[in-house]
């Protein structure tokens, strides 16, 4: 049985369901799935072949594949195999004490790392609320689940969240201020990426397609029961609503287009950060 090691931020509903239903074993796969603490750690693990597959933001792939101006200081030969979702409700969330956009300038705002795509998105969303990012106290706090806990505990005042972390934060009274769709209706979410010379993932992609179809079409109580075996938050109706939300949820179409990647490049230009070329994006787009 072939072992594939997967590094992820939030729990993947596709991997959870595939393993619960035994579809990975049917394809001869053994999936070793674990969390990564940050995007630099994820891509260092991919580079060092400590993981085989990264479930990550396409902006991270652009950053590590197109320039040495990234936290690792080197370009990695990367490949995007498919799009996974449309962001799963990716949004700027804040505590209930934030009642006016001006409040963002007086609270710690958590990001993964300051060079990440989520940090660029957060700054763009703040700008559109009339908040100048230069006035904000940004705190590097690691991966999404950790930032969600810090927000709920009141250690930070705002952050970018999605998926089950957004569901949990909303259930604790946190407020959505804006979403990735305020930037673009085609802002891309998570992708499945590997090193260009990494292991064969064709079996994983077959499992992914089968499981995604089931998650989108199976009776809701059945899907909630299967996902809820992993964690109660994943069995919540609000989480299933995110998975099935048009344009935001799971993608049955695996293609990642240059137009979607251009949205990320535009944000980078807006922030004065490194931006990939069209040729870079064409090389990485998953068709």
Residues 231 and 278 in one domain: yes
Asked whether 82 and 205 are in contact (CB, 8 A), the reply is: yes
Predicted pLDDT at 1: 55
Residues 195 and 278 in one domain: yes
Predicted pLDDT at 192: 98
Domain boundary, last residue among 182, 205, 231: 182
Residue 222's CATH number = 3.40.190.10
Residues 167 and 129 in one domain: yes
Global confidence as pTM: 0.93
Residues 83 and 106 in one domain: no
Domain boundary, last residue among 182, 198, 225: 182
Where helices occur in 182-277 by DSSP H, the ranges are: 202-217, 220-228, 237-243, 258-271
Residues 60 and 192 in one domain: yes
Residues 121 and 200 in one domain: no
Q: How many domains does the chain have?
A: 2
**Of 46, 48, 87, nearest in space to 61 by CA:** 46
How far apart, in whole angstroms, are the C-alpha atoms of residue 141 and residue 113? 7
Domain boundary, last residue among 150, 182, 214: 182
Asked whether 220 and 240 are in contact (CB, 8 A), the reply is: yes
Residues 130 and 246 in one domain: no
Residues 165 and 209 in one domain: no
CA 204 vs CA 6, 128, 251: distances in Å: 11, 39, 16
Asked whether 125 and 99 are in contact (CB, 8 A), the reply is: no
Local confidence pLDDT in tens for the 287 residues of the chain: 579 999 999 999 999 999 999 999 999 999 999 999 999 999 999 999 999 999 999 999 999 999 999 999 999 999 999 999 999 999 999 999 999 999 999 999 999 988 888 999 999 999 999 999 999 999 999 889 999 999 999 999 999 999 999 999 999 999 999 999 999 999 999 999 999 999 999 999 999 999 999 999 999 999 999 999 999 989 999 999 999 999 999 999 999 999 999 999 999 999 899 999 999 999 998 76
Q: Torsion angle of alpha carbons 220, 223, 229, 234, nearest 10°?
A: -70
Residues 73 and 110 in one domain: no
Residues 123 and 241 in one domain: no
Residues 70 and 209 in one domain: yes
What range defines the domain where residue 49 resides?
A: 2-87+187-284
Residues 210 and 279 in one domain: yes
């Amino acid at each position: 049985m072939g072992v594939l090691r997967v590094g992820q931020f939030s729990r993947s509903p596709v991997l959870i369901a595939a393993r619960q239903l035994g579809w990975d074993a049917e394809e001869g796969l053994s999936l070793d799935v674990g969390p990564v603490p940050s995007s630099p750690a994820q891509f260092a693990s991919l580079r060092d072949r400590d993981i085989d597959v990264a479930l990550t933001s396409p902006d991270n792939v652009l950053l590590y594949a197109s320039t040495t101006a990234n936290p690792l200081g080197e370009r990695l030969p990367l490949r995007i195999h498919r799009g996974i979702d449309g962001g799963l409700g990716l949004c700027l969330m804040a505590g209930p004490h934030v009642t006016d956009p001006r409040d963002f300038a007086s609270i710690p705002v958590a990001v993964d790392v300051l060079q990440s795509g989520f940090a660029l998105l957060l700054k763009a969303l703040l700008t559109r609320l009339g908040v100048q990012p230069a006035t904000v106290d940004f705190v590097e706090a690691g991966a999404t689940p950790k930032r969600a806990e810090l927000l709920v505990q009141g250690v930070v005042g705002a952050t970018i969240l999605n998926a089950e972390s957004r569901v949990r934060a909303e259930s604790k009274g946190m407020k959505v201020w804006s979403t990735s769709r305020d930037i673009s209706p085609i802002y891309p979410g998570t992708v499945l990426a590997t090193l260009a010379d990494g292991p064969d993932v064709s079996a994983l992609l077959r499992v992914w397609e089968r499981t995604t179809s089931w998650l989108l079409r199976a009776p809701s109580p059945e899907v909630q029961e299967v996902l809820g075996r992993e964690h109660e938050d994943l069995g919540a109706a609000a989480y299933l609503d995110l998975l099935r939300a048009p344009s935001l949820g799971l993608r049955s179409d695996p293609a990642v287009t240059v137009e979607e990647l251009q949205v990320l490049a535009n944000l980078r230009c807006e922030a004065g950060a490194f931006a990939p070329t069209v040729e870079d994006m064409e090389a990485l787009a998953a068709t």
